[in-house]
Amino acid sequence: MKRSKLNIKKNFLIILVGLPASGKTTFADFFKKKLNLYFQAEVKIIDPDLLRDIVSPKIFDFQNEHRVREETLEKVRKYLKKGMIVINDDLNYYSSMRHDLKSIADDLGRNFYIIHISTPLELCLKRNERRGKPIPNKVIQKIHNKFDNFKKYKWDHPFKTYTSTQSSDPVKFIEDLIIKIAEDLKKTTKKTTVRNSLHSSNLAALDLITRKYVGRLFDVPQNLSQKDEILKYRKSFIKKRKRDLTDIKTILEDFKIYLAQNLNINLI
């Protein structure tokens, strides 16, 4: 893969999913370096462990998780709005947790990609032992038992799964992942362009159809006394109708009905 910036300015959200000590943070750090090489947007890692260290240093406490979660979501929204690529380096073991992040991306019109760091429980426990058990092993086992499987919902499935083992190398996986994300972003951009073009065309049709009909109404002398009212209701109809332009064939008939409901005029 050639090391040159891709011509993609869109930012997006990466949702990492995995057990404690699964290797998510190592993966996130390496992924960030690669993303900086190929994408134009700045990359930001949101690591809730940093917040946990502030809230309860050296102790993992489930009671603090709600606060940590709220602050994490605020940061994800903040940096996505700034136009940055955001990597959420968290456990995200419940589908509801993943949905919270999806909702932020959807609300801001950004793509999101769920990346599952699939690491055997036994390996996670060994790694946790080596780093001095910052999280009790029983907590890791509890999270493993509570883990919500994917594909319960259509949106909730990994874009790619990285199987982490002691000998696994993330380099090729991440480079392949970057290619796949770039291709998906280009498809999304193309679909958005087509959709926006169609909307603009239908909006122009809405304006033309209602303007022509109002012109015909003004050809009837009895309607001229209500000229200002007719123009006012045309404006309000356009404002209301432009939210739904899926069927432009009914615009004229709908406009006539709207005028009849609000004005006493001679319809044509």
* Domain range list for the chain: 12-168, 196-262
Q: Is the pTM of this model over 0.75?
A: no
Q: How confident is the model at residue 169 (pLDDT cuts 50, 70, 90)?
A: confident
Q: How confident is the model at residue 1 (pLDDT cuts 50, 70, 90)?
A: very low
Q: How far apart are CA 85 and CA 108, in angstroms?
A: 13
pLDDT digits (tens, 9 = 90+) for 176-203: 999 999 999 988 866 665 556 666 788 8
Contacts of 53 (CB under 8 A, 6+ apart): none
Q: How far apart are CA 79 and CA 14, in angstroms?
A: 12
pLDDT at position 192: 60
pLDDT digits (tens, 9 = 90+) for 187-244: 886 666 555 666 678 888 899 999 999 999 999 999 999 999 999 999 999 999 888 8
User: 6-21 burial by CB neighbour count: b if 16+ within 10 A, else e?
Assistant: bebebbbbbbbbbbbb
**CATH (residue range 12-168):** 3.40.50.300
Is 220 in a helix, a strand, or coil? coil
Mean of pLDDT values over 134-147: 92
pLDDT at position 152: 86
Please check whether residue 94 is in contact with residue 114, taking contact to mean a CB–CB distance below 8 angstroms: no
pLDDT at position 200: 78
Most confident of 132-136, 205-209, 243-247: 205-209
